[in-house]
Structure 1
Amino acid sequence: MEKYLDAFVSAFNGTIQWTWKSIIFEVPWYTNYFWGLIAISLFVWVLEIIFPWRKEQSIFRKDFWLDAFYMFFNFFLFAIAISGVYRVLQLFFSDIGVSAKSLALVDPSGWPSWVQLLVFFIVLDFVQWFTHILLHKYPVLWQYHKIHHSVKEMGFAAHLRYHWMENILYKPLKTFGVMILGGFEPEQAYIVHFIAIAIGHFNHANIKITWGPLKYVLNNPVMHLYHHAYVLPKGRSGVNFGISLSLWDYLFKTAYVPEASGTIEIGYPGEENLPKTFLGQLVHGFGYRPRKKL
């Protein structure tokens, strides 16, 4: 037990120290996710201001500051809070003989760097796409995902507005994806992480981008706006589940982009019952009870 406690404390303190060192520029620039997030956010926000898709939307749109807080909470504060738990779980699975090598399907360590990065990116994106579908399909998970879909005016900061439980759901499956690769993470994995942040920001931004023919590969603001549509096609729990790649939606027939005016209503039926404050949303979803069929 002492070993696990030491691992928890060490990971927790280490994450705090790394975050602080990032703030004061004492980590390599390419691993400085704190200022990297700020730089990407400011860049996309400036583009929103100069080239707004929905021109009637205010620069400081509805819930702008709430979403901005969510960005830092989910990306840093919650990461600090949960880091010790993840380290203990890693140690536990290692102790019972479950390792990355035991689940590995491939060993990419000898591949060229660009192939390593590409495969790493594709595998993680597919895992997130699949997880995203689960969040929409199962009511108990949808209760948490509602936070993200409560956005009423789309903007870059909405990218990281989500319930902290989604971190709990995504992280194990992303870790499983890495374990399929033998626990391998490319030395230049920071490139993948920064690209994913940038694409996610663009997908939620008030900018009209479709990437031309690449729209069948890369997710984009027009496609993702329909993921947030208030009215969905009949019989579907969601559409356009792609995170960075739209490829999966086109391959598995979950893509839906009927037009590109940007004027559709976003949200979901019953959104008026969602708490409006961060603290209220923080605990939302835990009182869910499935309805009994009559």
Structure 2
Amino acid sequence: MEKYLDLIKNSYSGYWNYLKYELIDLNHWDNFFYGLILISVLVWILEIAFPWRKEQALFRKDFWLDTFYMFFNFFLLNLIVFIALTNTVSELFNDVLGVVGLSVSSFQLFDVDELPKWLGLFIFFIVSDFVQWNTHRLLHRFEWLWNFHKVHHSVKEMGFAAHLRYHWMEPVVYKSILYIPIAIIGGFDAQDVAIVYFFSIAIGHLNHANLGWDYGILKYIFNNPKMHIWHHVKELPKDVRFGVNFGLTLSIWDYIFKTDYIPHDGRDIELGFEGDENFPKDFLKQELYPAFSKKHDIKSSE
């Protein structure tokens, strides 16, 4: 137990030092703090120059709430929960395997260091995106997970910052499920992973932006604003119960597994979910919502 407590303490101090370093160091291209700001500003400029919903205000509904979510989830959440949790779960998993004489490397299919860098990154990207696509489906399929995911679907006007509006439990679920598949593939250099991460952030921002793009023939590969807005539609088709268009970066999984749905231009469709008029409107209450969701649901049904 003492080992795990020390690991949590070291994770906190290590990430805090890393975050301070990110804020003052501008000499490396994979600076996540300023990388997020740069991507956000560029996509916001695109929204201003090519607005799909021209009547939507520049500072749309919940713009500042979503901006707060963006920085909280991308940086502070890591400090509060994710880094320590990831390191501890990883160590615990290794210890459990060690009891039976195994290790993570026992399941490793290959070492990406032995592959050309582009191929290793491509495999990492494809595997992680597919696992996250499946995890996204789970968030819609099970009620207790859906109560966390409602935070993201409470967005009523789409904009780039809505991309990172989510409950703090979501990355815990995503990364917990993603850990084993990535461990099986092998280790990755942090700078190499940053390339994939920045690309995914850019696509995610564009998916939620006030842009009417579908990328032409590439729409069958990459998720896009015209496709993703239907994921946020309030009224689902009668033959669909748990959602559509689950793609994060790639849309190809939805086309392969027949969860794609783009019936027409969705520019002016109503966003949200059934009963969202009763959903909390501020950050703290939204974060606490899953703990009191049964109470909320009972009240809303009376």
- TM normalised by structure 2 equals 0.92
Report whether the alignment pairs 1:86 with 2:91.
Answer: no
2:257 matched residue in structure 1: 252
Measured on the aligned residues, the alpha-carbon RMSD in Å equals 1.8
* Partner in structure 1 of residue 238 of structure 2: 234
1:89-146: CA deviation from partner (whole Å, max 9, x where unpaired) = 2222222226432332343331111111111101000011000000001111101100
Counterpart of 2:273 (choices 268, 271, 278) is: 268
Contact 2:228 2:245 in 1 (8 A): yes
**Secondary structure, counterpart of 1:283 in structure 2:** helix
Q: Distance in 1 between matches of 2:266 and 2:85?
A: 45
Q: Which runs of structure 1 show a deviation greater than 6 angstroms over 4 or more consecutive aligned residues?
A: none
Structure 1 unaligned blocks of 5 or more: none
For the 8 Å contact 1:178–1:185, the answer to whether it is kept is: no
Q: Provide the rounded CA distance (Å) in 1 between the counterparts of 2:109 and 2:137.
A: 24
Residue aligned with 2:54, SS: coil
Q: 1:117 corresponds to which residue? A: 121
Q: Name the one with the larger helix percent.
A: 2
Q: Secondary structure at the match of 2:87?
A: helix
C-alpha separation in 1, matches of 2:216 and 2:79: 39
SS of the equivalent of 1:114 reads helix
**Which residue matches 2:104?**
100
Counterparts of 1:185 and 1:289, CA distance in 2? 44
8 Å CA contact 1:144–1:165 kept in 2: the answer is yes
Identity %: 51
State yes or no: 1:281 paired with 2:289. Answer: no
- Equivalent pair of 2:43/2:209 in contact (CA under 8 Å): yes
Match of residue 193 from structure 2: 189
- Tell me which residue corresponds to 1:45: 44
Q: Which residue of 2 aligns with 1:217?
A: 221
- Residue 134 of structure 1 aligns with an amino acid whose one-letter code is L
Q: What SS is found at the alignment partner of 2:290?
A: coil
Task: Please list every run of 5 or more consecutive structure 2 residues that lacks an aligned counterpart in the other structure.
Answer: 298-302
Residue 173 of structure 1 pairs with residue 172 of structure 2: no
Aligned twin of 1:132: 136
Is the deviation greater in 196-205 or in 183-192?
A: 183-192
CA contact (8 A) 1:100 1:183 kept: no
Answer with 244-253 or 86-95: which moved more: 86-95
Decide whether aligned partners of structure 1 residues 224 and 21 sit closer, same or farther in structure 2, where only a CA change above 3 A counts: same
Contact map agreement 2:113 2:187 (CA 8 A) in 1: no
Change in CA separation of 1:17 and 1:186 when aligned onto 2, cut-off 3 Å? closer
Contact 1:151/1:266 (<8 A) preserved: yes
**Preserved contact between residue 116 and residue 186 of structure 1 (Cα < 8 Å):** no
What letter matches 2:233 in structure 1?
A: A
Q: Which residue of 1 aligns with 2:155?
A: 151
Code of the aligned partner of 1:240 = N
